[in-house]
Amino acid sequence: MDTLSEEYKKYQKLVEGKNINPQTLLATDYLNHFNEIHMLIGMIADMPECLEDILEWEALSYQDHFKYSVFQDKDLAIEAYDHSPERYKKPFEDCVAEMDELLLSTIKNVEEAIKTEDKDYIAFILDGYTPSMERLIEQCSHIINSTETTAPQDNIDDFFDADSGPSDTNDQSAIDDLFD
């Protein structure tokens, strides 16, 4: 693991006590962008009048979502995103791309099914869509809320520093410090 960048460490401190994960520097509030449309699509079979609201949905990047959000720490969420480690950001962005693709294709299919008033086709679409979307939302939530425990590289390097040689300082408490 690379030494944690000073900017990353800075943002870890800035997000403490906020609704932004200090490990990933990502906020679960972004999932509201998907949860709301997911709920509307789930109601479409019984409430086809929801189609108008569904058609207004558009894919938004993480930054754009917060730009238009009422999230209290939206500016910090936008800034911190740029410092999210690639090991979180890449899988997060891949998952978001999958959700966007699934939603856009489902919206198109639902719109066609409603125009033809084919309730069986609507049910068929929802049967395929619902578990896939729920899996993706859960996957994205796990990425955002990662609680991966790692020791900062500096602590590991200090522990194994060749210049120090064997000493009493490399006792159990020093080992424990690697994982705090």
For the stretch 33-63, pLDDT in tens is: 999 999 999 999 999 999 999 999 999 999 9
Which one, of 86, 120, 85, 117, lies nearest residue 9 by Cα? Answer: 85
126 phi/psi in degrees, rounded to 5 = -65, -35
73 pLDDT higher than 60? yes
Model confidence, pTM: 0.78
DSSP designation for 48: G
Helices (H), 44-152: 51-56, 62-67, 74-81, 86-115, 119-144
Domain-wise residue ranges, the chain: 6-148, 149-180
pLDDT band at 5 (very low <50, low <70, confident <90, very high): confident
Identity of the residue numbered 61: S
Q: What is the mean pLDDT of residues 90-97?
A: 98
Q: What is the mean pLDDT of residues 150-175?
A: 49
